Each structure stands twice: as C-alpha cells, then as structure tokens.
C-alpha cells in the first residue's frame, strides 16, 4: 500500500477501507509515513470528511496505538467524564465525589491546563500535599475503598493521537468533526471506562462555536461509543461565558467546595446536577436521570458529597479540613484589583477565551507546557450574563500578588464583557442531551 494512493482516495471523497485507515495510523506511529504526507491526508479528511465506519476504525486504531488501561481490578461500572474544554470548568472536582457519594465508582485520570483552559490536576495540586501521581495498584485500591480517585494521566495513552494532534495544531486541521471525535474517544477508550459522559461545549470559549456544530460532534462521538460497545451520553452545553465565577486553581477548588456544600453559583450547580444525573444513571444506580438527580441533591443536602470530597483529599495526602477552613488552607493572592464597567447596560456574554487568557497571564495557567503556575491567582467574575450594570460598577476582580501589569489585564477583561442596552433573552445552559 502507498500513502500517496490513500491521500488521493480520501481527496476524491471515497471511503477508505479499514486496512487503509490502519495503515495510516501504524505508519504515523512508526514514523514510516513522513509528516508532509500525514499533513496532506489530514487536510483531505478536513475537506472530504469521514463516514461513521471510517471514524470508528480510526478511533480504535488510535486507542490501540499505545497502552490500554485495564480497570477490571475496580468493582462496578467504571465511568469516565470528559469536557471538550472550557474556562472555569471545575465540574470534575465536584462530580467525582458527588457521583461517588451516590455509589458509582469514579477512577478518573485528568490532565493539566494549557493555554486558556485550566486542568483538573493543577486545581487539585493547589491543596498542599495532594498527590496526583499514584501507583496503579494504589489508584485501584483507593477506588475500591472509598469509591473515588483522581490522578494525572500517565502511561503511553494513544500516542497516535499525540502525533496527529501536534500536526493538526500547525496545519490548520484541528477543526474537523471526525478528527476531534476520534481524538477524544481514542483516549477515553484506551483509559478503560465502561461508560462515558461527554460535555460538549459551544460558544466563544469552545472549539465549536455554535450549538449545531457541537451537536454534530456529540453525535459523532456517541456513534463511536455505540460502535465500540461503550455506553456514551453527550450533553451539549453553553460556553458563551465562563462557568461559575472563579477562574484560577485554588479559587476553583474553593468554588467546588461551595457547590458540594449546597451553595456556589447557580450555573455551575445546575450543570453538575445535570451531568451527574446522567453519570449516576449510566453507572446503573438510578433508573433514569431524574431519579439520579434527586439522589445527587440528597447527597449534597445530607453532607455526604462534601464528606466524600474530604475523604478523597485525605486519601491522596491533603488536609481534609480544607472543606471547613478553605480560607485558611488554600493559598490566596492577597491583592484584589477591580475591573470597572465602561458603560451602563446588561451583560450579554463574557468572552470565555479572553478571560482564560487573562487568568493565564496572571500566572494561573501555562503558555507553554513547562511553565510553572501560581495556584493562588485568578479572576473572579462578579457580574455575569443577565446582570444589569452601571458605568464604573465592578464587573470582575483580579486576584493578584502585586499590581504589576494589572491595569492592562483589567482593561482586557473589561473588553471581554459584551454589554448592551436591552436585557438579554434566556439562554439555556444545557442545550440538548445526545444519547
Ligand atoms: N480535544 C482533544 O482531545 N482532541 C481534539 O482534537 C480536540 C479537543
């Protein structure tokens, strides 16, 4: 088989055979196919698309390109959750203990943040002593003992995806539904979960700018799940403003504790109850998402969810008293710089990408993989969509160590707010569930 023929076939819009798709993935991983041919093939896929069958074969070939995690040492239906990337998205910090408190085991491997989006592992590490690297046996034993563990992604998971993603990033071929769907699902399948809940975001801070694009991506991923025998449900959710009010590692842990304690911002709590409902139903502990939601509400009201978070923190080396004394035990930046509204009106949206980039420039995130982060700093959104503001009102607060460069960032943040004279219409947080 010759790569040039496979490129030509894809360019003409024809469906590739399973052998041809596997030939590409194997050649990419072994290095036998040069980057210029892989890039040409990726561009052909961008223009010509892939059928559901081709996408499933590509996904499995990528999942099989490295280690497959065997979770059979953990009892029960193992669930994984994935978000296609958001700003202020601390749902894993809430959902892992919340769902575990309802009896569904959560063995979660998460990543670090890069660019404008944050990472669960960085957030957890803002708690002093919290270990995110555990030996596999310890990870399994902890899930069997307390029902939950969250650790950093380790091992050689889907190396074909790493290689393809690096090329996509520099060849303008990221935005292709079969390529995104296979990239996400190959990693989830290799990570070993029985069932997968996907949160597919759309809006200014997301890959998918419209609900329709997000729905097409969700359908492609659910179809892959069906094809490979992993129950998959996708929620299509709004990212036209960051989630919750806190963007920054320790600040997000604090907000997660608030939600687990029955407080916290409405949008974040609502999304967690909705996503958590589907997770508990997928985990077989409730007959449907509505019954599951009642279980989650009860776990919050009874304090079981917060206790489970404290157990998780203690099991991984942190101080469980963080749930009672977050102000004392989480790092704080010390200085608050207000961001003022330039005009009167209503907040219609907050550009999530700009907010994420501002938090990154403050030191909460990384521009490059090797950058060190400051867990204490971040952005607090005082006003959100629908709020009425007057010129000079505080829209947001920068949590900083000192005021160096803060004025410029405050101006950028003010520009991220879309303020108009009329009140905005209602905009549902959860647009649709695809299952
Ligand atoms: N996230 C992924 O893991 N892969 C993509 O292609 C896009 C987002």
Q: What percent of the chain has pLDDT over 70?
A: 100
What's the pLDDT band for 289 if we cut at 50, 70, 90? confident
Q: Which atom of ligand 1 is nearest to the CA of 165?
A: 6
Domain boundaries, the chain: 3-49, 79-323, 332-420
pLDDT tens per residue across span 117-149: 778 999 999 999 999 999 989 999 999 999 999
Q: Which of 99, 375, 417, 381 is nearest to 243 (CA)?
A: 381
- Consecutive H or E run containing 152: strand 148-152
Burial of 226 (0-12, 13-18, 19+ CB in 10 A): middle
- Consecutive H or E run containing 355: helix 352-362
- Structural contact between residues 107 and 139, judged by C-beta atoms closer than 8 angstroms: yes
State yes or no: is 399 an active-site residue: no
State yes or no: is 403 an active-site residue: no
pLDDT for 428 equals 87
pLDDT tens per residue across span 62-99: 999 999 989 998 988 988 999 987 899 999 999 999 99
pTM of the model: 0.92
Which residue of the set 10, 78, 81, 82 is catalytic?
82
Helices 159-171 and 35-48: crossing angle, nearest 10°? 80
- Structural contact between residues 104 and 228, judged by C-beta atoms closer than 8 angstroms: no
Q: What mean pLDDT, rounded, does the chain reach?
A: 94
Report, at the CATH architecture level, how domain 332-420 is classified.
Alpha-Beta Complex (3.90)
How far apart, in whole angstroms, are the C-alpha atoms of residue 56 and residue 205? 28
Q: What is the DSSP string of 356-392?
A: HHHHHHHTSS-SSTT----SS-EEEESS-TT-EE-TT
Residue 163 pLDDT > 80, yes or no? yes
Q: Which atom of ligand 1 is nearest to the CA of 179?
A: 6
What's the pLDDT band for 403 if we cut at 50, 70, 90? confident
Pocket lining for ligand 1, CB < 6 angstroms: 84, 165, 174, 179-180, 183-184, 207
Q: Whose CA is nearest to atom 2 of ligand 1?
A: 184
- Structural contact between residues 385 and 350, judged by C-beta atoms closer than 8 angstroms: yes
Q: Please choose from 158, 164, 168, 184 the residue to mutate so as to test ligand 1's pocket, defined by most ligand atoms within 8 A of CB.
A: 184
pLDDT for 153 equals 83
Which residue of the set 10, 81, 163, 168 is catalytic?
168
Q: Which atom of ligand 1 is nearest to the CA of 183?
A: 4
pLDDT for 336 equals 97
Which residue of the set 183, 186, 204, 354 is catalytic?
183
Q: Which atom of ligand 1 is nearest to the CA of 174?
A: 6
How far apart, in whole angstroms, are the C-alpha atoms of residue 349 and residue 196? 30
Report, at the CATH architecture level, how domain 79-323 is classified.
3-Layer(aba) Sandwich (3.40)
Quote the ligand 1 centre to 237 CA distance (angstroms): 17
CA distances from 168 to 5, 52, 60, 117 (A): 21, 20, 19, 18
Quote the ligand 1 centre to 291 CA distance (angstroms): 32
| Rounded mean pLDDT, 161-174 | 91
Quote the ligand 1 centre to 175 CA distance (angstroms): 9
pLDDT tens per residue across span 309-339: 999 999 999 999 999 999 999 999 999 999 9
- Structural contact between residues 136 and 127, judged by C-beta atoms closer than 8 angstroms: no
Q: Topology of domain 3-49, per CATH?
A: 1.20.970
pLDDT for 184 equals 93
pLDDT for 113 equals 78
Residue 373 pLDDT > 80, yes or no? yes
Residue 378 pLDDT > 80, yes or no? yes
pLDDT for 4 equals 98
State yes or no: is 421 an active-site residue: no
Q: Whose CA is nearest to atom 6 of ligand 1?
A: 180
Residue 114 pLDDT > 80, yes or no? no
Q: How many residues does the chain have?
A: 435
Quote the ligand 1 centre to 410 CA distance (angstroms): 30
State yes or no: is 82 an active-site residue: yes
Helices 266-282 and 91-101: crossing angle, nearest 10°? 50
Instruction: List the strands of the sheet with 246-247, edge to edge.
Output: 246-247, 378-381, 394-400, 335-340
State yes or no: is 168 an active-site residue: yes
Quote the ligand 1 centre to 403 CA distance (angstroms): 35
What's the pLDDT band for 244 if we cut at 50, 70, 90? very high
CA distances from 334 to 255, 330, 337, 403 (A): 17, 12, 10, 11
CA distances from 67 to 49, 132, 189, 249 (A): 28, 20, 11, 30
Q: Please choose from 81, 84, 208, 209 the residue to mutate so as to test ligand 1's pocket, defined by most ligand atoms within 8 A of CB.
A: 84
pLDDT for 111 equals 82
């Amino acid at each position: 088989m010759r790569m040039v023929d496979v490129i030509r076939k894809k360019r003409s819009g024809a469906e590739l055979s399973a052998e041809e798709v596997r030939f590409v993935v194997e050649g990419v991983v072994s290095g036998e196919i040069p980057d210029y041919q892989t890039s040409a093939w990726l561009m052909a896929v961008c223009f010509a698309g892939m059928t559901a069958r081709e996408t499933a074969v590509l996904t499995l070939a990528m999942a099989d390109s490295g280690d497959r995690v065997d979770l059979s040492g953990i009892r029960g239906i193992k669930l994984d959750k994935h978000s296609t990337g958001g700003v202020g998205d601390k749902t894993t910090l809430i959902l892992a203990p919340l769902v575990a408190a309802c009896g569904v085991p959560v063995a979660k491997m998460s990543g670090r943040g890069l660019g404008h989006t944050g990472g669960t592992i960085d957030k957890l590490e803002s708690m002093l002593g919290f270990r995110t690297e555990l030996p596999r046996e310890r990870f399994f034993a902890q899930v069997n003992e307390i029902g939950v563990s969250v650790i950093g992604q380790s091992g050689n998971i889907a190396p074909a995806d790493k290689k393809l993603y690096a090329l996509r990033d520099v060849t303008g071929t990221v935005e292709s539904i079969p390529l995104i769907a296979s990239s996400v699902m190959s990693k989830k399948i290799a990570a070993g979960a029985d069932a997968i809940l996907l949160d597919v975001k759309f809006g200014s801070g997301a890959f998918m700018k419209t609900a329709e694009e997000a729905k097409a991506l969700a359908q492609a991923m659910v179809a892959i799940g069906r094809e490979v025998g992993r129950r998959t449900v996708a929620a299509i959710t709004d990212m036209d403003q960051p989630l919750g009010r806190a963007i920054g590692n320790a600040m997000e842990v604090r907000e997660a504790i608030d939600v687990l304690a029955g407080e916290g911002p409405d949008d974040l709590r609502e999304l967690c109850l909705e996503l958590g409902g589907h997770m508990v139903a997928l985990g077989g502990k409730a007959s449907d998402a509505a019954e599951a939601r009642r279980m989650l509400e009860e776990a919050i009201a009874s304090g079981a969810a917060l206790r489970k978070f404290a157990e998780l923190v203690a099991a991984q080396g942190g101080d469980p008293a963080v749930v009672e004394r977050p102000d004392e035990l989480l790092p704080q930046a010390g200085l608050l710089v207000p961001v003022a509204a330039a005009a009167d009106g209503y907040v219609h949206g907050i550009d999530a990408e700009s907010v994420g980039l501002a938090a990154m420039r403050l030191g909460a995130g990384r521009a490059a993989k090797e950058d060190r982060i400051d867990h204490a700093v971040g952005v607090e959104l005082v006003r959100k969509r629908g709020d009425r503001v007057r010129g000079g009102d505080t829209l947001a607060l920068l949590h900083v160590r000192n005021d160096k460069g803060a004025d410029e960032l405050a101006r950028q943040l003010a520009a991220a707010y879309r303020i108009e004279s009329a009140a905005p219409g209602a905009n549902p947080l959860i647009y649709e569930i695809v299952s």
